[in-house]
Amino acid sequence: MNGKLIIFSAPSGAGKTTIVKHLLQSGLPLEFSISACSRKPRTGEINGRDYYFLSEEEFRQKIQNNEFIEWEEVYAGNYYGTLRSEIERIWAKGKHVLFDIDVKGGVNLKKLFPDKTLSIFVEPPSVEELERRLIGRSTDDAETIRKRVDKAVYELGFADQFDVVIVNDILTEAQEKAIKIVSDFIVQ
Ligand code: ADP
Ligand code: 5GP
């Protein structure tokens, strides 16, 4: 099996997690890359399913040990990264690896495996709609939402460094498009 990497990146609130979950339920031979992170779990999140939740100290230790293929301080004081062992674990099961990582991480990972990787940028129809979605999701306080919206404006400038851009306006259309693009890529 020729194991591949499929990366979804987007400004927070664009709908990337929703689209990734849909793909994971589509029956395609994909498995989610569980990242390590140093933030606290949100209500309902489970260690080893949503993330490997580490202390900042544990995270730094793994950086020292060269255990990450990429990592970023995505928000001040909050580290996120992809463990090398995660990719090996998924390829060993005969599946392709599906990533939900930040925009800079997506660009860097594509550079590491250019031929095996499809990088997809999920774009919101507008920054105003992105802010409405973050408010509607009810997972972040007003200050966090303000920071995420500010960062989104910067991150939207990275779209042209991805292989494909999916504008997530009508969710069902964006999901269908994602399935078609990923299916075509993994049979290549
Ligand atoms: P991200 O992972 O990019 O931060 P989410 O997938 O968590 O974004 O989506 C943010 C919020 O927007 C969620 O509440 C989700 O249900 C909602 N959402 C996702 N896509 C759409 C869409 N096309 N139209 C309206 N709401 C959407
Ligand atoms: P959240 O805190 O909302 O779960 O995630 C915040 C951001 O971190 C999201 O943009 C998510 O894609 C990104 N992220 C999650 N895992 C990783 C990772 O392993 N590497 C990088 N670079 N970003 C990640």
CA of 14 to the centre of ligand 1 (A): 6
| Strand pairing category for 117-123 and 78-83 | unpaired
Domain regions of the chain by residue span: 5-186
Helices (H), the chain: 16-24, 56-64, 84-92, 103-112, 127-137, 142-155, 171-187
What pLDDT is recorded for position 43?
86
pLDDT score for 75: 84
Among residues 34, 22, 33, the alpha carbon closest in space to that of 180 is found at 22
Share of the chain above pLDDT 70, in %: 99
Tell me how crowded residue 50 is: count the other CB atoms within 10 A of its CB: 16
The highest-level CATH class for domain 5-186 is alpha beta
- The CA distance from 108 to 77, in Å, is 20
Which ligand has the shortest distance to the CA of 72?
2
Rounded to two decimals, what is the model's pTM? Answer: 0.95
Q: Does the beta carbon of 15 lie inside 6 Å of ligand 2?
A: no
Split at pLDDT 50, 70, 90, the class of 2 is confident
Out of 19, 20, 137, give the residue to mutate to test ligand 1, the one with the largest number of ligand atoms within 8 Å of its CB: 137
Any idea which ligand is nearest the CA of 38? 2
